[in-house]
């Protein structure tokens, strides 16, 4: 949010914060959420770089297109294991994964 908009909202008595504040997440919970979002975005980027559809990736993972969509959107039902395994299947190396997480 730009500072001008933030100042306007605060002048009207609104409280401006971030998702972590709103959801009252601990630092560990916030880091976990950020980790899942990062892996989800990288999965989508990698899939697109490889010119695969969600359906084609689903076949590689022996899963469904809707599951891939959930993975790419950061759905809470998707495990970190599944995200990491999917990236590895797409050819990500341990170094790539480390870079994503740093």
**What percentage of the chain exceeds 90 in pLDDT?**
70
Residue 19: closest CA among 34, 9, 5, 6: 34
> Residue 97's pLDDT is what?
95
- Can you give the pLDDT at residue 102? 86
All domains of the chain in start order, with CATH: 24-101 (1.10.260.40)
| pLDDT (tens digit per residue) in 36-83 | 999 999 999 999 999 999 999 999 999 999 999 999 999 999 999 999
Nearest to residue 49, comparing CAs of 87, 83, 100?
Answer: 87
- Are 38 and 100 spatial neighbours (Cβ–Cβ below 8 Å)? yes
């Amino acid at each position: 949010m730009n500072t001008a908009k933030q100042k306007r909202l605060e002048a009207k008595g609104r409280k401006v914060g971030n998702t972590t504040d709103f959801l009252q997440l601990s630092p560990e919970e916030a880091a976990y959420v950020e980790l899942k979002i990062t892996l989800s975005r990288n999965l989508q980027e990698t899939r697109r770089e490889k010119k695969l559809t969600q359906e084609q990736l689903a076949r590689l993972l022996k899963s469904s297109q809707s599951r891939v969509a959930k993975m790419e959107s950061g759905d809470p039902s998707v495990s970190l294991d599944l995200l990491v395994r999917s990236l590895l299947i797409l050819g990500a190396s341990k170094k790539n994964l480390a870079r994503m997480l740093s």
